Amino acid sequence: MSRLMYTLVILLSCSQLYACNTGNDGSTNKQENNLSKHDSMKLKITIGDKTATAILYDNPTSRDFAAMLPLTVKLDDYSNTEKIFYPSCKLSTKDAPAGFDPSIGDITLYAPWGNIALFYKDFGYSNGLISLGKITSGMDAFTVKGSATVKFELEK
């Protein structure tokens, strides 16, 4: 029985590593290649009974994020300015600019910490911040106080 459990643990670990295979080395997979054919990807974000829509830009970081979808996470409030979460895999920072000046509705990666941030208030330029996309409707869904469970999925 312990040999079976050991085998299952190894298989599960390998599948998790395979799912996290994209990163700074510029490696791609079939889904990433399909996504890169578009100028932007449409994103549906569900928070409780509210829905927001967004676009993801065509860049390596956004494609890594899109490859993880659908994804349900807990967003935590950070500094009364943004909602954040830490994805299970490190996202690519290939070809990313040195920083970004976010405004309301921006979806970003803060590369030094590895967290995704959705800004519901304006904020100043930050080194290491990479733009992933922009919320196009439903910003009021992010005004909920504290943490919230959120589902991200690509629109078809």
Q: What is the widest separation between alpha-carbon atoms in the chain?
A: 56
| 91, pLDDT greater than 50 | yes
Cα(152)–Cα(146) distance, integer angstroms: 18
> What is the span of the domain harbouring residue 75?
2-154
Would you state the pLDDT for residue 39? 59
Query: Quick one: average pLDDT of 55-75?
Result: 97
Q: How many domains does the chain have?
A: 1
Which candidate, 142, 112, 145, 154, places its Cα nearest to that of 130?
A: 112
**Residues 109-154: pLDDT tens digits?**
999 999 999 999 999 999 999 999 999 999 998 888 889 999 999 9
Tell me 91's DSSP state: P
| 94, pLDDT greater than 80 | yes
The CATH number of the domain holding residue 48 is 2.40.100.20
| Residue 39 three-state SS | coil
Structure pTM? 0.75
Query: Quick one: average pLDDT of 57-65?
Result: 96
Q: What are 26-33's contacts with CB under 8 Å, separation 24+? A: 26/60, 26/92, 26/94, 29/67, 31/66, 31/67, 32/63, 32/64, 32/67
Residue that has been written with the tokens 């409707």 in this structure? 137
Query: Quick one: average pLDDT of 71-78?
Result: 96
Would you state the pLDDT for residue 12? 39
Would you state the pLDDT for residue 156? 77
Cα(85)–Cα(79) distance, integer angstroms: 13
Would you state the pLDDT for residue 6? 40
**Residues 1-39: pLDDT tens digits?**
555 444 433 443 434 434 444 443 333 333 333 334 345
Would you state the pLDDT for residue 13? 42
| Residue 35 three-state SS | helix
**70: preceding bond cis by omega (within 30 degrees):** yes
